[in-house]
Amino acid sequence: MSQPAIELQGISKAFGPVQANKDISIRVMPGTIHGIIGENGAGKSTLMSILYGFYKADAGEIFISGKKTAIPDSQAAISAGIGMVFQHFKLVENFTVLENIVLGAESGAFLAPSLRKARAELAELAAEYELNVDPDAVIEEIGVGMQQRVEILKALYRRANILILDEPTGVLTPTEADQLFRILGRLREEGKTIILITHKLREIMDITDTVSVMRRGEMTATVKTSQTSPENLAELMVGRKVLLRVDKTPAQPKHQVLEISGLNVVDDAGVARLKDVSLSLCAGEILGIAGVAGNGQSELLEVLGGYQTATGSVKVNGAALDLTGADSDGQSRRANGIAHVPEDRQREGLIMDFMAWENAVFGYHRDPAHQANRFFMDNAAIKAETAAKMQRFDVRPHNPNLTAQNFSGGNQQKIVLAREIERNPDLLLIGQPTRGVDIGAIEFIHQQIVALRDQGKAILLVSVELDEILSLSDRIAVMFDGQIMGERDPADTNEKELGLLMAGVTGEASA
Ligand SMILES: Nc1ncnc2c1ncn2[C@@H]1O[C@H](COP(=O)(O)OP(=O)(O)OP(=O)(O)O)[C@@H](O)[C@H]1O
């Protein structure tokens, strides 16, 4: 048998009191795709950051193709043939694709080979792996799918034999995700080794050869993908059986809470983002908005959340919202009984260098309940309340004094959800509620959303995950190109029909 492409032995790493990795050993064979799964905060990103030289392990050894290798920094990782595609891309926004790919590959930008030579090599690589990119496009002007392809090309340009991808499909459309998996399949055929971190068990089942499970800093199991099932993996990950489908009774819709008519949004460049959108939503109902990212769903949430101006009419409990004036902001919306879990938690949901307890009241800090007196917030009470909330939502570590950036991505999401859900709003706007969230936490979050509905709240759910839309919604509206293409009853539709509507195909083709 050949040597493992990567072998880690006894890797440990602590951040203060948090033992992020505990005595981890793992072997990854060449020419395979190896999945790594685990709950939020299990230590997956930390382990990969050690392999890529971002963090120094407290103990343990790394072997690359059987050879003990020190990886003190990412330059050493690159020299050892390792490439990494991060969750948040590390490209230089105002440089072109070609410049980004060449940058840093040589010992200094000025020593880089002529761009012409690099251009030819890039074209060859792009053709070989079907990694379509425009070498002259500026990064900030291209979509996330192409940015990700640039990251992969950058690794291949540096002769990477080992590619690590950290939750690569979170930001991709379904078509882009399929394309990525075809590319990964091709890289495997070429004998390259791929490590894939993902929360999506379907991806693990579809593309990996082997999968390792992490729990609370430890590597608890490694199994062959062909000998396992999503249910088995979920149990290995969370330590108990997980409901992979949402358990809920039929909705009992009551009075109308939200009435949207003729809503239009035109962006700064004069492009129509929402076109004559009309929707209604009742108390005790979940309306799911399905659609490929970028078809107006974000703008719809932003208008309702008070972050974007619009024309048309929106009424909440019969009262018209201000869509253009001074009362078109988040604070007024909260006063109207609207809570909002924004799609981008790091930009809109949290202040990253504020502590968890401050983030837990962010936007609601002027509520009398949080004031000790006219001038000061009651910090002790807020901290105690936050600690209890973190316990209920299983935010790890349970420490209200850590800043938002010290939590793993999924735990950051739980902090935002806990804040907004527990405000007991009349209308909850919820965008991509489970992005980056582990399967046990998804089950919990889905239960919370259904419970809120059963208490008679109105819920507008935007998600690019069709599974999530189908299993949570009582009614589904599909958006394409800023318009509502139609509404469907989840009991009478399927992924195929919704997929066609999401691609703008209506009429007989979608019947
Ligand atoms: N820079 C840091 N400073 C302090 N603590 C950290 C840091 N990075 C990670 N941690 C902690 O280490 C633990 C492991 O985090 P890590 O990001 O590796 O988890 P993960 O499995 O990748 O989670 P997710 O699925 O949510 O991305 C968490 O408890 C986290 O809070």
Ligand 1 center to residue 447 CA distance, Å?
A: 25
Q: Relative to the CA of 397, which ligand 1 atom is closest?
A: 29
Mutation probe of ligand 1 site: the residue of 39, 408, 415 with most atoms within 8 A of C-beta: 408
Report the mean per-residue pLDDT for the chain: 89
Query: b/e for 28-48, b at 16 or more Cβ within 10 A?
Result: bbbbbbbbbbbbbbbbbbbbb
Q: How far apart are CA 322 and CA 325, in angstroms?
A: 6
Cα separation, 419 vs 436, whole angstroms = 18
Residue 13 near residue 174 (C-beta atoms within 8 A)? no
Task: Match 């999506």 to its residue by tokens.
Answer: 200
43 lines ligand 1 (CB under 6 A): yes
Distance between Cα 165 and ligand 1 center (Å) = 16
d(CA 144, CA 292): 13
Peptide bond into 168 cis (omega under 30): no
Instruction: Determine whether the shortest distance from the Cβ of 38 to ligand 1 is under 6 A.
Output: yes
3-state secondary structure of 123: helix
Report CA(490)–ligand 1 centroid distance (Å).
Answer: 36
The pLDDT, as a whole number, for residue 257 is: 97
Q: Are 428 and 461 in contact (CB under 8 A)?
A: no
Q: For position 326, what pLDDT does the model report? A: 84
* Nearest atom in ligand 1 to 438's CA: 25
pLDDT the model gives residue 144: 77
440 lines ligand 1 (CB under 6 A): no
Q: Among 20, 36, 195, 72, which residue's Cα sits nearest to residue 11?
A: 20
Q: What span, in angstroms and rounded, lies between the C-alpha atoms of 14 and 144? A: 33
ipTM of the complex: 0.97
Q: How does pLDDT run along the chain (511 residues), one tens digit per residue? A: 689 999 999 999 999 888 999 999 999 999 999 999 999 889 999 999 999 999 999 999 999 999 999 999 989 999 999 999 877 667 888 888 988 888 765 544 454 556 778 888 889 888 888 888 889 999 888 877 788 888 899 988 988 999 999 988 877 777 778 888 999 999 999 999 999 999 999 999 999 999 999 999 999 999 999 999 999 999 998 888 877 778 899 999 999 999 999 999 998 888 999 999 999 999 999 999 998 888 999 999 999 999 899 999 999 999 999 999 888 888 899 999 999 998 877 777 888 999 999 988 887 777 777 777 777 778 888 888 899 999 988 898 889 999 999 888 889 989 999 999 888 899 999 999 888 888 888 888 899 999 999 999 999 999 988 889 999 999 999 999 999 999 999 999 988 888 889 888 876 544 3
d(CA 392, CA 169): 29
How would DSSP label each residue in 160-214?
Answer: -SEEEEESTTTTS-HHHHHHHHHHHHHHHHTT-EEEEE-S-HHHHHHH-SEEEEE
Pocket mutation for ligand 1, best pick of 11, 12, 13, 18 (most atoms within 8 Å of C-beta): 18
